[in-house]
Amino acid sequence: MDRIKQLAKEYAAEFIQIRHHLHAHPELSYQEYETSKFVQQKLGEYGIPFEVKATTGVIGIIEGKNPQSRTVALRADMDALPIKEQNTVSYKSQNEGVMHACGHDVHTSCLLGAAKILSQLKNDWEGTVKLIFQPGEEKNPGGASLLIKEGVLQNPAPQCIFGLHVNPQLEVGKLSFRSGKVMASADEIYITIKSKGGHAAAPHLTADTILIASHLIVSLQQIISRNNNPLSPSVLSITSFQGGTTTNVIPSEVKLMGTFRAMDEEWRAKAHQLIRHHATQLVQAMGAEIALHIDVGYPTVYNNEALTTLAKNIAEMYMGTGNVEETEIRMGAEDFGYYSQRIPACFFRLGTANAAKGITAGVHTPLFNIDEAAIETGIGIMATLGAQVSF
């Protein structure tokens, strides 16, 4: 651990520059062509064999002593968001309208740094570390699901997996962990309500799609309030209402869009059935037709209790007990959930805020940035988990 900490400090400036390069050249989900080439180039420089999966994903393998004794996977996502950056920094995005506003440039830089250290020290630790540089975290169906279909959890099969994510609400120099349910599933809801339309002064001659949609929006909330266990977090939000173009016409079509979030996979499946049944019955009872589609997205992120306790203990030894906190439950989603539903997983947070320097902007905003001292922490903890965890 001391050697890893020393190398993380020594290499921090190098990987801050790598982060600058990645930040300046962001690419959208499933379009990470240059980012993938850059990662491949770096792994080649470190003497780490790799293969490409799901077009832009890069999977590296580092073998220590007795490589068959264990396999640990370390994952970083690489895609950016369709956001126009407003930061005035030397490494500002050069791709107009695209920005690393969720810290995936940080994740990739930290995993590259950990890879360099683990490769350099491969005679000092046992087992195999699988590096997963993943595309498409920000967009369905999720790069994790594509990599899993292409066998990323096989040959060799990891016994566990770790993922790191920036946290702009957590001060730099800190990490946070949580066992059990950590992040919600995320499904998209698309509803179209149709009738023949008609004159606004003669609503009795048609089915009023605006009124029907309004009733539906309100009544759908009872799916959560009267069917879900109130101790299990869940959210249903209708976020778009499109219909009508003038004051005297009842439109023939109204479109609704929204999102459904849950922390329990069994309840999630039941809620889908309830939403479909309730919406169909209400709309038809009011005289209109309905087309409803639920685009099933990422599953819940579930941190294996034993693995997370082990990782937290290692982090406390690495960082000091006072610098390791508990992650709060979030209703946001992460495609890391696909991994966590299949093998023991631990998804933890890296503190990147510095209130004294004014670095507090949230992720998915045009002013998001980090205190880059976090890079050293991220490199070190990922390398340490890769080298020390046996599960």
Hey, CA dihedral for 273, 274, 275, 277, is it positive or negative? positive
The DSSP bridge pattern shows strands 289-295 and 57-63 to be: unpaired
Q: Which domains does the chain have, with CATH numbers?
A: 2-183+300-388 (3.40.630.10), 185-295 (3.30.70.360)
3-state secondary structure 331-391: CCCCCHHHHHCCCCEEEEEEEEEEHHHCECCCCCCCCCCCCCCHHHHHHHHHHHHHHHCCC
Confidence of residue 179 (pLDDT cuts 50, 70, 90): very high
| C-alpha dihedral, 75 to 143 to 20 to 87, nearest 10° | -120
As beta bridge partners, residue 102 has none
- The pTM (predicted TM-score) of the whole model is 0.93
Q: Phi first, then psi: give them for residue 357, nearest 5 degrees.
A: -95, 0
What are the helix (H) ranges across the chain? 2-24, 33-45, 104-120, 143-149, 209-225, 265-285, 305-319, 336-340, 374-388
The DSSP bridge pattern shows strands 160-171 and 71-77 to be: parallel
Q: What is the pLDDT of residues 78-123, one digit of tens each?
A: 999 999 999 999 999 999 999 999 999 999 999 999 999 999 999 9
Query: What are the catalytic residues?
Result: 298, 372
Q: Which of 377, 280, 90 is nearest to 385 (CA)?
A: 377
CB 260 within 8 A of CB 166: no
Tell me the average pLDDT of the chain: 97
| Pair of tokens at residue 112 | 């590259």
- Is the pLDDT reported for residue 23 higher than 90? yes
